[in-house]
Amino acid sequence: MNWSLSDSWSFSSRHGLALLLAAVLASGCGQDGIKVYTVPKEQQPQMSQADMPAGHPDAAAASAAPQLKWKTPDGWTELPAGQFRVASFKVADKEGKQADVSVVPLPGGAGGDLSNVNRWRSQVGQPPVTDEELKTLKQPVELAGQPAALYEQSGQNPTGEPTRILAVIQYRDGTAWFFKMTGDSQLVAQQKPVFVEFLRSVQFAIGEAMAAMPAGQAPIADGTLPAGHPDMSAAPLGAANSGVSTAGKPQWAPPAGWTEVPGGQFLVAKFTIAGAGNAQGAVNVSSSAGDGGGLVANVNRWRKQLGLGELSSDELAKSAKDIETTSGRATLVEMSGQDARSGQPASLVGVMVIQPGQAWFYKLMGDAKIVAAQKDAFTRFVQEVKY
């Protein structure tokens, strides 16, 4: 999974619009394991920035709606696609080792090879490389009948587990395509020939846009993300995280009354909390490489969600609170205002936790009474997380 959420993209964000890339199964191609998916071109949908760390630019609209065909390798389990992730697969061996495969198209150059490779290197504890050094890492491969670049990085993820990343970048018709396998280092190394053969099986075509996504569907979904976005690929899609530490994910114990729901591609986890009547609250957990843009920028991002003005670093210092966690100190902030999406009064409690090379963001937001009642439980939850 940045869905890092702290390098820079080279997208235009002045229109504040986002491309929702959804994978829709097209009929008429069920032979030999070949699937056909269409990436629809939406009519200027508005992307929610509620859970994007600071510095994440909006994506621009794609110029065409490509269809993808591929042959799913033996032993790969196809998973539901997300709104940025147009294809997703799980790979596991008999010993329980796992890897995640994702396909993500993004308009423009998506930050370029160097920034993306250095982001991936940071995820496995490797230092950044220069432009000259990057040339030595580039492995030529064939993707859909055209040349592409494969970059292989190995090391340890933030939890110390041996991890390997195979990432392929190809630029087609103004779109950067990312095909990526991330997981147990030994398994990924064994699967490399299979991954390369999968790339050869991919076919691109231009098709008509499919129907728009259902009303109310979350605008952001987890997965392989380009420079400028925290990567969530270390966390398998749909994996529950209650008390279990999976690759790249912390270990935690959600309080009673919290219901875990699919978090989406930019979230490591999401929990909903129901109150009296229609009152609701939600806890979102996201992660970003480095400092995720810093405390001030992220607090001001949260304030924007409540219709509040920005704070300077000096102003924030007066209201922010340091708290102790099992993994060191963290910073907690509180604010109240009006939910920018619903127009209803809302409160928010946010915590930023800095770990080596990684920033973690926890946000409790919703009905003021629910937030007030859940604040202590939320704080304990964050304090007890083990990374």
For the chain, the domains span 24-206, 268-383
**Confidence class of residue 112 from pLDDT cuts 50, 70 and 90?**
confident
pLDDT at 244 over 70: no
Mean local confidence (pLDDT), 181-208 = 88
pTM score, whole prediction: 0.44
- How far, in Å, CA of 174 to CA of 172, rounded? 6
More confident residue, 350 or 18: 350
Average pLDDT value over all residues in the chain:
75
Which of the given ranges, 81-95, 167-181, 263-277, has the highest pLDDT on average?
167-181
| pLDDT on residue 217 | 31
205 φ/ψ angles, rounded to the nearest 5 degrees? -150, 160
Q: Taking the domain 268-383, which CATH number applies?
A: 3.40.1000.10
More confident residue, 334 or 278: 334
Domains 24-206 and 268-383 agree in fold: yes
Mean local confidence (pLDDT), 184-210 = 83
Give, rounded to a whole angstrom, the gap between the first and last alpha carbons of the chain: 16
**Confidence class of residue 83 from pLDDT cuts 50, 70 and 90?**
low
| pLDDT on residue 266 | 67
What are the tens digits of pLDDT across the range 225-238?
333 443 333 332 22
Q: Which CATH number fits domain 24-206: 3.30.750.24, 3.30.465.10, 3.40.1000.10, 3.40.800.10?
A: 3.40.1000.10
Give DSSP secondary structure letters for 213-267: PPTT--S---S---TTS---TTS-TT---BS---TT--BB-PPTT-EEE---TT-
Lowest mean pLDDT among 66-80, 296-310, 311-325, 346-360: 66-80
| pLDDT on residue 66 | 56
Residue 15 near residue 56, CB atoms below 8 Å: no
Which among 382, 380, 342, 370 is positioned nearest to 257, based on CA atoms?
370
**Confidence class of residue 248 from pLDDT cuts 50, 70 and 90?**
low
